[in-house]
Chains A and B, each alone.
Chain A
């Protein structure tokens, strides 16, 4: 083999290795995205057909009409993310630092619900939170819930469903980042006069921030676009933007509006994520 062909191969090898991913991205990410954006700028109706008219008015219509749904989606997703963080962090912390040889069994148990279908798990919650169910009964007994109050079809049940369904995606990255922390760093903090809590605050917590950031993204993004939880556990008053997209596409058959909502949601989420990441980076993240 001549050196020229070897050099040629060398030059092309990276591109060849990249090719499958580029093709995949073009086929399954970029082209649907372009179609979606194009679709959102069309006008017309399902019966008469849609034409591309660069209809920017679609967006004005979407934002002015559906802003409460956007707001509710972001609020529900944000609250669910915070709840998931508050549950997942102590959970992951205990599994990493306190569970000893049960560590990996417990980790499997955290992921175990994912083996069951998303839909089935959410449906199960309708039973758990039912008016005659254990949770409502218990809350009524302690007096947290009046006899004429319930959980199902309230924002509480929707947020609970979101929190439950996305919990593993918060717990796993936090587990990984905590597990990676060199225990000797925590010992060193203690050696330098930091109490258990102070060592957590100044060493463990900052070093697990990448896990928190990853978990927050993995929970917030899908939760903001979710419609199953609001559909099954909520009511008309707790509908999220995902439900609107669902009904516009499949029932109203208003493709341009549905597309415009989707694009707006994407932009909104990217904006929020970029904003929060920029704030996080100015903190102690490395």
Chain B
């Protein structure tokens, strides 16, 4: 370690775990626009953490600040308890897999991978490079130049070039964005595999909600430079706290309602004259005016003989439209006594007649799938910004349908 390096690393916290990455009050502005707005985030060691958000939400800027490619205007970055905010990028024990791969065109694959090791004057370079090339199954191409490789192969070189340095944190900037669907799926799996094998901390930046959900242990959804919500994929999907998260991760029905009162851990909410119950823990609003939310695939469309159980919500409505999507049928149902519509996705898992427009139906779903959000926000926030593998469809199909689709492929 050189003298400057030691000056740059100031131990500020005792007991921090090796590899923990902590961002404190990070702010970045570009000519007056705040791109990252007082961001606080702790990424525990050994996790695959995804920063998910639409383009322009500040996720890539956050990653570049961690890499040392941008300097934050305010706040600090701590790695294993050491403040690295002032440390120059090339002195930070982090490596990046760039979206464009940024492989050196004049060097062979071997030399590309060996680049970081040579800069650090590591020992045993040949063995280390050969082993990592074996891991990514590129040993045979070691003497080729990057231009002679396919996109997927280049992607693996970029990954190997970063991982071979055994960084404390590996930063991935939309690393699979340039690959086609099939290859992306395969690489998602491989990256996840490598991460759990090596036990490294991965910070994965992506705008693909499906990719984030399949790969990450934990996701932070970013919007407008701030974190909207953070949690495990299931948590974000099943219990979104804002309209943005509800719409960006999959599809949600958000119906305006008024909280009437609470009864034994349940909030009673009036929706167009009908009553809906939401577990109090799933009400993320302070005001009486709320949006009641439920995912389309959680809803059952009931006719006369089907009655709601004690643990279920029920809304009467009229079928407006339906579309057949193969594995399922999507209904648009107007809630009785209002102009609000609800999307319901019904899996075609039994023989039944498609309901004609105008049919009176009842929408039934379990209480535990209901959530309530603050009524003052835009119920359409985050809609249409989600990008991924035919997102609209996937979003509507949801978890059950996704599993089915994967099986078909």
Interface set of A (CB-CB < 8 Å, partner B): 182, 184-185, 187-195, 198-199, 202-203, 206-207, 284-286
Contact at B102–A182, with CB atoms within 8 Å? yes
Instruction: For the A-B complex with A191-B68, A191-B94, A284-B107 known, give 10 more contacts whose Cβ atoms are closer than 8 Å.
Output: A182-B100, A188-B98, A188-B102, A190-B89, A192-B115, A192-B162, A193-B116, A195-B88, A199-B90, A286-B105
Query: Which residues of B lie under 8 Å from residue A202 when comparing CB positions?
Result: 115
Query: Which residues of B lie under 8 Å from residue A187 when comparing CB positions?
Result: 69, 98, 102
Contact at A207–B105, with CB atoms within 8 Å? yes
A192-B100 contact, Cβ under 8 Å, with A198-B119, A207-B105, A286-B106: no
Query: Which residues of B lie under 8 Å from residue A185 when comparing CB positions?
Result: 102, 104-105
Contact at B90–A184, with CB atoms within 8 Å? no
Residue of A nearest to B158 (CB): A188
Query: Which residues of B lie under 8 Å from residue A203 when comparing CB positions?
Result: 104
Q: How far is the CA of A187 from the CA of B94 in the complex (A)?
A: 13
A155 to chain B, nearest CB (A): 37
Query: Which residues of B lie under 8 Å from residue A198 when comparing CB positions?
Result: 90, 119
Residues 252-311 (chain B) with a chain A CB within 8 angstroms: none
Which of B105, B145, B161 is within 8 Å of A192, CB to CB?
B161
Does B95 belong to the interface (CB within 8 Å)? yes
Q: How far is the CA of A192 from the CA of B116 in the complex (A)?
A: 4
Query: Which residues of B lie under 8 Å from residue A182 when comparing CB positions?
Result: 100, 102
Residue of B nearest to A191 (CB): B96
Residue of A nearest to B100 (CB): A184
One digit per residue, 1 when the CB lies within 8 angstroms of any chain A CB and 0 when it does not, for chain B 340-358 equals: 0000000000000000000
Q: Which of B98, B106, B116 has the most CB of A within 10 A?
A: B106
Query: Which residues of B lie under 8 Å from residue A206 when comparing CB positions?
Result: 106
Interface size class on chain B is 20 to 34
Contact at B115–A207, with CB atoms within 8 Å? no
Q: How far is the CA of A189 from the CA of B67 in the complex (A)?
A: 12
One digit per residue, 1 when the CB lies within 8 angstroms of any chain A CB and 0 when it does not, for chain B 105-116 equals: 111000000011
Contact at A194–B119, with CB atoms within 8 Å? yes
A213 to chain B, nearest CB (A): 13
Residue of A nearest to B161 (CB): A192
Q: How far is the CA of A182 from the CA of B107 in the complex (A)?
A: 15
Q: How far is the CA of A185 from the CA of B96 in the complex (A)?
A: 12
Residue of B nearest to A199 (CB): B90
A217 to chain B, nearest CB (A): 20
Contact at A194–B90, with CB atoms within 8 Å? yes
Query: Which residues of A lie under 8 Å from residue B116 when comparing CB positions?
Result: 192-193
Query: Which residues of A lie under 8 Å from residue B106 when comparing CB positions?
Result: 206-207, 284-286
A188-B96 contact, Cβ under 8 Å, with A182-B102, A284-B106: yes
Q: Which of B68, B102, B145, B165 has the most CB of A within 10 A?
A: B102
- List 13 interface pairs A-B (beta carbons < 8 Å), by A numbering: A182-B100, A185-B102, A185-B104, A187-B69, A190-B89, A191-B68, A191-B69, A191-B94, A191-B96, A193-B116, A193-B120, A195-B88, A206-B106
